[in-house]
Amino acid sequence: MRVDFYQLQRDPAPYVLPQLAQKILEAGERLHIKCADAPLCHQISDRLWTQIKSSFLPNCHAQDDDAAKTPIVISPDGQNINGANLIALADGVWDALAMQYARVLFLFLPEQIDNARATWRELDGENIEKHYWKQLDGKWVKGP
């Protein structure tokens, strides 16, 4: 299992997730995006449909009829509805259900750094590969 910690500095989750999701879909994978905040979920969905000008990223909400068939599902909990191997925790809150996925993208804001550090420490000794990423000049770079 792998957990990637993404410290959002310049861009919030709705602007970061389309680029990450595009790479995931290009690799033939499915993605589950977890966010408990309904307005944030809708912002993410809108950005997935519109941010990348050359294409769109098909997505739906967990309660939609076709959620099981959709490559990207957005929901307020960690239940794996679409058979995804990856989950993005978009609101900076760790969910133990994320442990059922092969890879976790844990996005957090600067004001959530203490929570992210606590999560990093909690995952020590769990046989989990962990990586920390930060935004620098609009690009993601591995942090210390």
Domain that holds residue 75: 2-142
Question: What is the band of 51 on the pLDDT scale with cuts at 50, 70, 90?
Answer: confident
Rg (CA), the chain: 14
Q: How many domains does one find in the chain? A: 1
What pLDDT was estimated at residue 78? Answer: 80
Q: Where are the beta strands (DSSP E) in the chain?
A: 2-7, 31-34, 59-61, 72-75, 86-89, 103-108, 129-136, 139-142
Q: Which CATH number is 30's domain given? A: 3.40.50.10110
Read off the pTM: 0.94
pLDDT tens, position by position, 97-141: 999 999 999 999 999 999 999 999 999 988 999 999 998 887 899
Task: State residue 31 phi and psi, 5-degree precision.
Answer: -135, 140
| Nearest-angstrom CA–CA distance, 78 and 89 | 9
Cα 61 from chain centroid? 14
What pLDDT was estimated at residue 130? Answer: 97
What Cα–Cα distance (Å) separates residue 124 from each residue in 91, 95, 117, 128? 22, 16, 11, 7
What pLDDT was estimated at residue 31? Answer: 98
pLDDT tens, position by position, 2-30: 999 999 988 899 999 999 999 999 999 99
What pLDDT was estimated at residue 108? Answer: 97
pLDDT tens, position by position, 56-103: 899 999 999 999 999 999 999 888 999 999 999 999 999 999 999 999
What pLDDT was estimated at residue 137? Answer: 82
What pLDDT was estimated at residue 116? Answer: 97
What pLDDT was estimated at residue 98? Answer: 94
